[in-house]
Amino acid sequence: MTTGSESGLAAAERALQRAQELARAFLASLPHRPVSLLPSPERMSAALDEPLPEIGSDPAAVLEQWFRRAEPGITASAGPRFFGFVNGGATPAALAGDWLASAIDQNAGLWAGSPAAAQTELVVLRWLKELFGLPSAWPGALTSGATMANLVGLSAARQWAGRRLGFDAASDGLAGHSPIIVVASQEIHLSAVKCLGILGLGRSQVRLVAAPGASVDPIAMAAQLRGIDGPAIIVANAGEVNSGHFDDLVALADLRDAHPGGAWLHVDGAFGLFAGTSPRFAPLLRGIERADSVAADGHKWLNVPYDCGFAFVRDGDVLREAFAATGAYVVGTGGWDPFTHVPEMSRRFRGLAAWCALKAFGRAGYRALVERCVDNAAAFASWIEGNPMVELMNPAALNIVCFRVVRDGLDDDATDALNRAAVLAIQADGRAFVTGTVWSGRAAIRAAFDNWMTTRDDVLILQQVVDEVARSLPG
């Protein structure tokens, strides 16, 4: 007679074995499976919606059933020809680390919950600072992605600004106090805007500054700052999402230093921070060491599984004040408690996948990865410039290419409609995936290159699909 525990372990072993088989088959299919043939919501509902069962089923059978029913809605976003949304993939080491993290199921919120998780995260943060050339003394933490990393940095900024105005923002709230003014490029990423709403700073209260060519105009930024009496928060882009362009961080840091009311410089470096891995592109980040907070994403160019991001803040005191929390059951142990640096108490052990990825690739591996991706983007941009059916919308500064399909004689509205149709046609083809966007008020197409598996052959396939679609669409 077996115990419940023994029986559960046997069931877990069977389920894990089946998970491995399904995963291996999926990974093997990535080079040739359709990248994305998006099913309708109705089809996915019909495949997956059902009443909650009264009686449970074998875990391996449950897993099998879900995969077979859900497979039409599983994109090949981990593969080499998914050029949408600045998605990376998962390196072998990162994937293995992520699997193990799920199996050992550590709460990475505080030292007492898992000394191994907390210490691993500290090491990962130190390695990341070394990789990007950030000051070693900056504290930080891993997050679920760049959105939460932005939230961490902007929470610290709000706390700092409250201090300047004579109140504790985290404890007292913002009601009844002078407003905290945020100034940002008109190309500010929607995730940062979302965070400003969450923090009570106001999505519609951001003072937007012109950004010709996607890099903010420092003169226009200076003019906005002159109209602010008290402290200000400056949000900068290190890698604008449609073009990859960088704000002049040195100029913005100079404006921060010169502002009479004081200013905080937050840099959204979701993918652009990885320019610091290569001597070829590190100059794009000149001045990053003068920032007050920096946010970036791990499931982009770090190529670790979802979810992973990281935030660094110059002033550890304001960071800890922003997320201060105490409870009788939370007993200090002398070790580092990550929850003091982020919103969550319970946290997934995402540090293991990041540790494995960094250990396996090393500094040289990430330098090569970034340079290869940028070279692939440059090759695609060069092809566009030589093809009369498409037009480059903005010089590719790093790894993002923004372009559109063109036709002689079409007006702007017709060209916009043509490009919206082109995006859908490329996605429906299934050989490559791109996303639509709007650039300078015009509908456009966007391709991002940051997957560790993407080769020049994959770029050639993308070119072929774009060319075929551009020639086949009426207009």
d(CA 185, CA 237): 8
Beta bridge partners of 443: 438
Confidence check: pLDDT of 86 > 50: yes
**Residue 2, pLDDT score:** 40
- pLDDT averaged over every residue in the chain: 95
Three-state SS annotation for 246-257: ECCHHHHHHHHH
Residue-wise pLDDT tens digits, 59-71: 999 999 999 999 9
d(CA 351, CA 298): 10
Q: Are residues 310 and 459 in the same domain?
A: no
Range of the domain at 53: 4-30+39-74
Flag whether 405 is in a domain: yes
Q: Are residues 282 and 175 in the same domain?
A: yes
Residue-wise pLDDT tens digits, 169-188: 999 999 999 999 999 999 99
Task: Give the largest CA-CA distance in the chain.
Answer: 80
Q: Are residues 188 and 215 in the same domain?
A: yes
Q: How confident is the model at residue 159 (pLDDT cuts 50, 70, 90)?
A: very high
Q: Which of 331, 357, 383 is the last residue of a domain?
A: 357
Choose between 118 and 2: higher pLDDT. 118
The phi, psi pair for 297, rounded to 5°, reads: -125, 135
Q: Which of 342, 357, 372 is the last residue of a domain?
A: 357
The pTM of this model reads 0.95
DSSP state of 274: G
Q: Are residues 462 and 319 in the same domain?
A: no
Q: Are residues 161 and 258 in the same domain?
A: yes
Flag whether 458 is in a domain: yes
Q: Are residues 318 and 423 in the same domain?
A: no
Q: Are residues 337 and 369 in the same domain?
A: no
The phi, psi pair for 286, rounded to 5°, reads: -55, 125
Flag whether 83 is in a domain: no
Residue-wise pLDDT tens digits, 378-389: 999 999 999 999
Q: Are residues 299 and 379 in the same domain?
A: no
Q: Tell me the torsion sign for CA atoms 208, 245, 389, 445.
A: negative
Flag whether 91 is in a domain: no
Dig out the tokens for 70 from the structure: 């859900």
Question: Which helix (H) or strand (E) segment is 326 a member of?
Answer: none
Query: Which of these, 147, 154, 155, lies nearest to 85 by C-alpha position?
Result: 147
In one-letter notation, the amino acid at residue 271 is F
Are the C-beta atoms of residues 450 and 92 closer than 8 Å to each other? Answer: no
Q: Cα–Cα–Cα angle for 194, 433, 303, nearest 5°? A: 65
d(CA 136, CA 121): 15
Beta strands across the sheet bearing 400-405: 390-392, 400-405, 442-448, 435-439
Flag whether 81 is in a domain: no
Q: How confident is the model at residue 6 (pLDDT cuts 50, 70, 90)?
A: low
Dig out the tokens for 409 from the structure: 């004689």
Number of structural domains (the chain) is 3
Q: Are residues 290 and 437 in the same domain?
A: no
> Residue 78: helix, strand or coil by DSSP?
coil
Q: Are residues 346 and 377 in the same domain?
A: no
Are the C-beta atoms of residues 125 and 118 closer than 8 Å to each other? Answer: no
Flag whether 18 is in a domain: yes
CATH number at residue 388: 3.90.1150.170
Chain mean position to CA 356 = 19
Flag whether 219 is in a domain: yes
Confidence check: pLDDT of 1 > 50: no
Highest mean pLDDT among 9-13, 38-42, 115-119: 115-119
Are the C-beta atoms of residues 252 and 221 closer than 8 Å to each other? Answer: yes
Residue-wise pLDDT tens digits, 221-256: 999 999 999 999 999 999 999 999 999 999 999 999
- Buried b vs exposed e over 313-343: b needs ≥16 C-beta within 10 Å? bbbeebbbbbbeeeeeeeeeeeebbbbbbbb
Dig out the tokens for 315 from the structure: 């002033």
Cα end-to-end span (Å), the chain: 73
Alpha-carbon separation of residue 417 from 74, 228, 405, 407, 427 (angstroms): 28, 41, 10, 12, 16
Q: Are residues 347 and 445 in the same domain?
A: no
d(CA 330, CA 203): 35
- Find all residues with CB under 8 Å of 362, minimum gap 6, and list them: none
Q: How confident is the model at residue 323 (pLDDT cuts 50, 70, 90)?
A: very high
Question: Which helix (H) or strand (E) segment is 52 a member of?
Answer: none
Flag whether 275 is in a domain: yes
Q: Are residues 331 and 434 in the same domain?
A: no
Alpha-carbon separation of residue 103 from 233, 360, 455 (angstroms): 41, 21, 33
DSSP state of 286: T
d(CA 201, CA 392): 36
Beta pairing class for 293-297 and 309-313: antiparallel
Q: How confident is the model at residue 327 (pLDDT cuts 50, 70, 90)?
A: confident
Axis crossing angle, helix 351-385 with helix 115-132, rounded to the nearest 10: 30
Examine residue 248 and say whether the peptide bond preceding it is cis (omega within 30 degrees of 0): no
Residue-wise pLDDT tens digits, 293-311: 999 999 999 999 999 999 9
Query: Which of these, 140, 409, 179, 183, lies nearest to 295 by C-alpha position?
Result: 140
d(CA 361, CA 174): 45
